């Protein structure tokens, strides 16, 4: 698939000299969901703002749908919808009017049917005549999403869309994101909830200190970096790991009642069959066995710590 | 041109005006009426005619200019400052709108509001004094140009301001004195020669003078000078606005 957003060696130095982006390059493929992970201050919002034209890059080039975001900003921006991290809404405006306004700003003729369907999708239709001030925080966030979708963008940026949103609503948002993807919308979201990235992203990018540490397919990432553990419960505790098993990466746990075998899921051979045979040969009796995969969170924490 | 975008901004701004329509209209009408009572009736009765025009009628163009300038500046300044303040400006900045289109939307709305108020004051003044307008076309032309150029000044102010205090300070400390010293309530020929010369450096004098000429056919400065001043001021403001958007001054980081 072709890249719909191309970020090429973008640097951003804020007034005052702080370099928030240190040569970021990133290709976002059409139709994918990319999750950007990174600690506070990593540069996620700066990167998104630079693509959307709110901040001006110090150097480097960005195209959206082949259009340069500076020279062909009209064509580029028409393709983009942005849900900002901060809840920025005019307090005394009505929900439906503010969504119509967004559609107009992006150069589209008024279309109440589209506005209605966007509001219904976000369970805001009942609130269409309410003033923004009268909405709860979660509703305001949905109004922001509705505004971003009002002009039917091809690329949607969601900057921490689920911050401060309850579990129920978060699931609803994931469903919405999934449906948008089915319609062919490319989605870039930032989040601090790693399980969110794990649940909905196709690819994961990790950014820290203004640098992209990696961008990879979620599954490949988990497979490449994911270590699996096999816990083996023994019928009788072991004082030490027998000589015959010393060639395996085994650890004793819970006073020898349990053995933990760590292996790489991506390796040619995991060694499990051989280990089981050798366990039997050593005369050990197994009570139970269980495997678990390290989560994206472990990977993420490891990466960020390494780069710090 | 992104016409839908321009219209969206314009309607949004007008909606704010109509949301508080009573305040928007009542306050200029009341304050103008007060000026007529105090200056026109109480004090004006002791002032002889100014170049053949009764004092009450003489101050009408100045009064309209005073309100129009204040309204144009205030509306435009607030219109752009508020979204900057609460952060909603991000949407306009990320929309496929050129700087020119954004300015048409905001400045256009502020200018229309100011124009409406100017016309309301004109109508109000008919209740207090007898006036006939000598050159209606030029009257409207001066009014529109003033609305547009000062709305642009207000727009610049709104972008420059970093606080509500600054937003209020400039109209109070700069614009109001210029209007009062610009011959709104007197002809500069009434001033001592030194002050007459100083007054010639006040841009508002040219506006008021030209505007008054369109009513009564008399002016402090030649009409051509007034026209040149209005166009020059409009061009200057346009230049500054253009620079603001080119550099992203106080709009984009
Ligand atoms: N307008 C600005 N002027 C100066 N520095 C800024 C500005 N905006 C952001 N920064 C700095 O740039 C860095 C990156 O900020 P950014 O908002 O992009 O982080 P983030 O990854 O979105 O963080 P978070 O998860 O907290 O939202 C931070 O160190 C921040 O202090
Ligand atoms: Mg952020």
The CA-based dihedral angle spanning residues A227, A231, A237, A241, taken in that order and rounded to the nearest 10 degrees? -30
Q: Which residue carries 């820290």 as its tokens?
A: A208
Which pLDDT value is given to residue A23? 94
Q: Is residue A299 part of a domain?
A: no
Same domain, A274 and A147: no
Q: Are A94 and A130 in contact (CB under 8 A)?
A: yes
Q: What does the alpha-carbon distance between residue A281 and residue A258 come to, in Å, rounded to a whole number?
A: 18
Q: Which residue carries 């969601």 as its tokens?
A: A158
Q: Is residue A258 part of a domain?
A: yes
The C-alpha of B7 sits at a distance from chain A's nearest C-alpha, in angstroms, of 8
Ranges of chain B whose pLDDT falls below 50: none
Three-point CA angle B139, B142, B143, nearest 5°: 85
Same domain, A15 and A50: yes
SS3 content of chain B, % helix, strand, coil (to 5): 80, 0, 20
Question: Number of H helices and number of E strands within chain B?
Answer: 11, 0
Query: What is the chain A residue with the closest CA to B7?
Result: A104
Q: Flag if B7 and A108 touch (Cβ within 8 Å).
A: no
Q: Are A63 and A56 in contact (CB under 8 A)?
A: no
Same domain, A216 and A100: yes
Q: Is residue A86 part of a domain?
A: yes
Nearest CB neighbour to B97, from listed A105, A109, A110:
A105
Ligand in closest contact with the CA of A49: 1
Q: How far is the CA of A40 from the centre of ligand 1 (A)?
A: 8
Same domain, A90 and A197: yes
Which pLDDT value is given to residue B117? 92
Q: Flag if A84 and B90 touch (Cβ within 8 Å).
A: yes
Q: What does the alpha-carbon distance between residue A147 and residue B79 come to, in Å, rounded to a whole number?
A: 20
The secondary structure of B60-110 as a DSSP string is HHHHHHHHHHHHHHHHHHHHHHHHHHHSTHHHHHHSS--HHHHHHHHHHHH
Q: What does the alpha-carbon distance between residue B166 and residue B203 come to, in Å, rounded to a whole number?
A: 22
Mutate to test the interface with A, among B2, B87, B94, B162 (most CBs of A within 10 A): B94
Which pLDDT value is given to residue A97? 95
Q: Which residue carries 């010639």 as its tokens?
A: B200
Q: Are A234 and A259 in contact (CB under 8 A)?
A: yes
Nearest to B102 by CA among B115, B88, B92: B92
Same domain, A120 and A183: yes
Same domain, A209 and A255: no
Which pLDDT value is given to residue A308? 67
Q: How far is the CA of B7 from the centre of ligand 2 (A)?
A: 32
Which pLDDT value is given to residue A224? 67
Query: What is the chain B residue with the closest CA to A87?
Result: B87
Buried b (16+ CB within 10 A) or exposed e, B229-250: bbeebbeebbebbeebbeeeee
Which pLDDT value is given to residue A32? 95
Atom of ligand 1 nearest to the CA of A207: 21
Buried b (16+ CB within 10 A) or exposed e, B18-57: eeeeeebeeebeeebbebbeebbeeebeebeebeebbbbb
Give A108's contacts in chain B (Cβ within 8 Å): 4
Looking up residue A65, the CATH number of its domain turns out to be 3.40.50.300
Phi-psi region of A247 (alpha: psi -120 to 50; beta: other; left: phi over 0): alpha
Nearest to B124 by CA among B17, B23, B30, B20: B30
Same domain, A200 and A61: yes
Where a domain ends, among A171, A191, A222? A222
Mutate to test the interface with A, among B1, B7, B8 (most CBs of A within 10 A): B8
Rg (CA), chain B: 19
In this structure, the strands spanning A59-64 and A3-13 are antiparallel
Q: Are B65 and B211 in contact (CB under 8 A)?
A: yes
Same domain, A126 and A46: yes
Considering only CA atoms, which residue is closest to atom 7 of ligand 1? A14
Ligand in closest contact with the CA of A16: 1
Q: Is residue A303 part of a domain?
A: no
Q: Which residue carries 């960005």 as its tokens?
A: A62
> Under an 8 Å CB criterion, which residues of A touch B?
14-15, 52-56, 73-78, 80, 82, 84, 86, 88-93, 97, 100-110, 147
Nearest to B141 by CA among B227, B57, B222, B17: B227
In chain B, where do the E strands start and end? Answer: none
Which pLDDT value is given to residue A4? 95
Q: What does the alpha-carbon distance between residue B67 and residue B70 come to, in Å, rounded to a whole number?
A: 5
Atom of ligand 1 nearest to the CA of A47: 18
In this structure, the strands spanning A33-37 and A80-83 are unpaired
Same domain, A198 and A242: no
Q: For each successive 10 residues of chain A (308 residues), what is the average pLDDT?
A: 90 94 96 93 95 94 94 95 93 94 96 95 93 92 94 95 82 89 95 84 93 89 74 88 84 87 78 87 87 74 75
* Domain interval for residue A240: 227-293
Looking up residue A238, the CATH number of its domain turns out to be 3.30.70.1560
Could you tell me the pTM of the whole model?
Answer: 0.84
Q: Is residue A265 part of a domain?
A: yes
Q: Is residue A114 part of a domain?
A: yes
Q: Is residue A216 part of a domain?
A: yes
Nearest CB neighbour to B95, from listed A56, A90, A105:
A105
Nearest to A14 by CA among A40, A64, A49, A38: A49
Q: Is residue A302 part of a domain?
A: no
Same domain, A238 and A206: no
What is the number of domains present in chain A? 2
Same domain, A214 and A245: no
- Pocket, ligand 1, Cβ cutoff 6 A: A 14, 16, 18, 20, 38, 40-46, 85; B 253
Considering only CA atoms, which residue is closest to atom 17 of ligand 1? A45
Which pLDDT value is given to residue A225? 66
Which pLDDT value is given to residue B99? 86
What is the distance between the terminal CA atoms of chain B, rounded to a whole angstrom? 26
User: Is the dihedral angle over the CA atoms A293, A298, A299, A302 positive or is it negative?
Assistant: negative
The secondary structure of A29-53 as a DSSP string is ETT-EEEEE--TTSSHHHHHHHHHT
Where a domain ends, among A163, A187, A222? A222
Q: What does the alpha-carbon distance between residue B107 and residue B126 come to, in Å, rounded to a whole number?
A: 29
Query: What is the chain B residue with the closest CA to A58?
Result: B253
Q: For B73-129, what is each residue's pLDDT tens digit?
A: 999 999 999 999 999 999 999 999 988 899 999 999 999 999 999 999 999 888 888
Q: How far is the CA of A49 from the centre of ligand 2 (A)?
A: 10
Same domain, A248 and A139: no
Q: How far is the CA of B123 from the centre of ligand 2 (A)?
A: 53
Which pLDDT value is given to residue A226? 64
Tokens of A23: 């040569």
Where a domain ends, among A222, A246, A274? A222
């Amino acid at each position: 698939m072709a890249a719909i957003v191309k970020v090429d060696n973008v640097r951003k130095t804020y007034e005052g000299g702080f370099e928030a982006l240190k040569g970021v390059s990133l290709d976002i493929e059409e139709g994918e969901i990319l999750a950007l992970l990174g600690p506070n201050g990593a540069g996620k919002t700066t990167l998104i703002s630079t693509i959307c034209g709110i901040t001006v890059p110090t150097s480097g080039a960005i195209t959206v749908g082949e259009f340069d975001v500076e020279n062909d900003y009209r064509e580029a921006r028409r393709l983009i919808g942005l849900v900002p991290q901060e809840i920025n809404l005019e307090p005394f405006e009505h929900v439906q009017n503010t969504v119509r306004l967004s559609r107009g700003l992006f150069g589209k003729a008024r279309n109440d049917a589209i506005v209605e369907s966007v509001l219904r999708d976000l369970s805001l239709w009942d609130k269409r005549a309410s003033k923004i001030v009268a909405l709860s925080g979660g509703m305001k966030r949905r109004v922001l999403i509705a505004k971003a979708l009002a002009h039917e963008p091809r690329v949607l940026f969601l900057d921490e869309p689920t911050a401060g949103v309850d579990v129920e609503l978060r699931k609803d948002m994931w469903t919405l994101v999934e449906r948008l993807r089915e319609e062919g919308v490319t989605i870039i979201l930032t989040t601090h909830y790693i399980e969110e990235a794990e649940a909905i992203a196709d690819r994961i990018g990790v950014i820290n200190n203004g640098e992209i540490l990696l961008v990879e397919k979620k599954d490949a990432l988990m497979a490449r970096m994911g270590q699996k553990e096999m816990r083996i419960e023994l019928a009788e505790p072991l004082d030490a790991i027998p000589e015959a098993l010393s060639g395996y990466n085994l650890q004793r746990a819970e006073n020898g009642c349990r053995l933990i075998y760590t292996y790489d899921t991506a390796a040619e051979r995991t060694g499990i069959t051989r280990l089981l045979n050798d366990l039997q040969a050593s005369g050990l009796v197994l009570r139970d066995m269980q495997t678990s995969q390290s989560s994206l969170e472990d990977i993420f924490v490891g990466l960020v710590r390494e780069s710090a | 041109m992104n016409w839908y975008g321009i219209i969206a901004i314009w309607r949004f701004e007008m909606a704010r005006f109509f949301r508080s329509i009573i305040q928007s209209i009542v306050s200029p009408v009341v304050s103008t009426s007060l000026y007529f009572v105090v200056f026109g009736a109480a004090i004006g009765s002791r002032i002889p005619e100014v170049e053949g025009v009764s004092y009450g009628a003489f101050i009408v163009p100045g009064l309209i200019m005073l309100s129009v300038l204040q309204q144009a500046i205030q509306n435009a300044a607030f219109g752009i400052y508020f979204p900057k303040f609460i952060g909603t400006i991000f949407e306009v900045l990320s929309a496929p709108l050129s700087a020119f289109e954004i300015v048409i939307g905001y400045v256009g709305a502020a200018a229309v509001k100011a124009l409406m108020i100017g016309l309301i004051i004109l109508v109000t003044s008919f209740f207090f004094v007898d006036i006939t307008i000598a050159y209606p076309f030029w009257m409207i032309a001066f009014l529109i140009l003033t609305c547009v150029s000062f709305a642009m000044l207000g727009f610049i102010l709104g972008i420059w301001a970093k606080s509500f205090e600054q937003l209020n300070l400039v109209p109070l400390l700069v614009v109001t004195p210029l209007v009062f010293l610009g011959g709104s309530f007197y002809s500069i020929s009434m001033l001592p020669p030194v002050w007459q010369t100083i007054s010639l450096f006040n841009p508002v004098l040219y506006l008021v003078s030209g505007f008054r000429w369109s009513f009564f056919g008399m002016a402090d400065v030649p009409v051509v000078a007034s026209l040149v001043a209005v166009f020059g001021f409009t061009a200057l403001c346009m230049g500054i606005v253009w620079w603001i958007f080119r550099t992203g001054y106080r709009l984009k980081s």
